[in-house]
Amino acid sequence: MNAAPHKVGIFGGSFNPIHVGHLALANYLCEFGRLDAVWFLVTPQNPLKRRDDLLDDTCRLELTRLAIGDYPKFHVSDFEFRLPRPLYTLHTLRALREAYPENEFYLIMGSDNWRVLNLWHEPQQLLAENKLIVYPRPGFEVSASELPPQVRLVKAPLLDVSSTFIREGLRQGKDIRFFLPPAVYNRIKQENWYL
């Protein structure tokens, strides 16, 4: 008899930088949201975002590894670093399923992204092929009744923190250590990143 597939949430993003909001959400999904693991998929470029203040790919990967520490349900992945450009979520998820057939993948996205899913590459195909977990973001209400069956809304606690807020705080010389894991904050300060 085959074992049940490992339920893995794919949390993709630039993580520029990763912060406590990312970690709290992923922790919630593992401990309360029926996922066995969350993979932080550090993406080298988001087609919908400008690159002008994007920290180097390897630096963001390093910060994400520092952030998760030894929590066994988190994994940092540079899987997209080796995929052909441009990067599209649909292609990434197909490649992940091919590379890791033993896993059942769930795409994690905020309600803000759910609201603009029509702007993504082949959104109908993305929905047809994948299961999604949508978490709330302030100002982007989503009702479970309006979601298709393969999309699950979770009532994760809201931490209204963004990487943009973190970068602006660092540039302004603010002491924002409690918005970042200590190892991440220390590394950023050591290297004077985002200044």
**This prediction's pTM:** 0.93
Chain centroid to Cα 109, Å, comes to 7
What is the b/e burial string over 167-191, where b = at least 16 CB atoms within 10 angstroms of the residue's CB? beebeeeeebeebbbeebbebbeee
- pLDDT tens digits for range 145-181: 999 999 999 999 988 899 999 999 999 999 999 999 9
**Per-domain residue ranges for the chain?**
6-159
Query: For domain 6-159, which CATH number applies: 2.60.40.10, 1.20.272.10, 3.40.190.10, 3.40.50.620?
Result: 3.40.50.620
Are the CB atoms for 140 and 117 separated by under 8 Å?
no
**pLDDT of residue 17 exceeding 70:** yes
- pLDDT tens digits for range 80-104: 999 998 899 999 999 999 999 999 9
Would you state the pLDDT for residue 3? 67
Residue % of the chain over a pLDDT of 90: 88
Average pLDDT, the chain: 94
Would you state the pLDDT for residue 159? 85
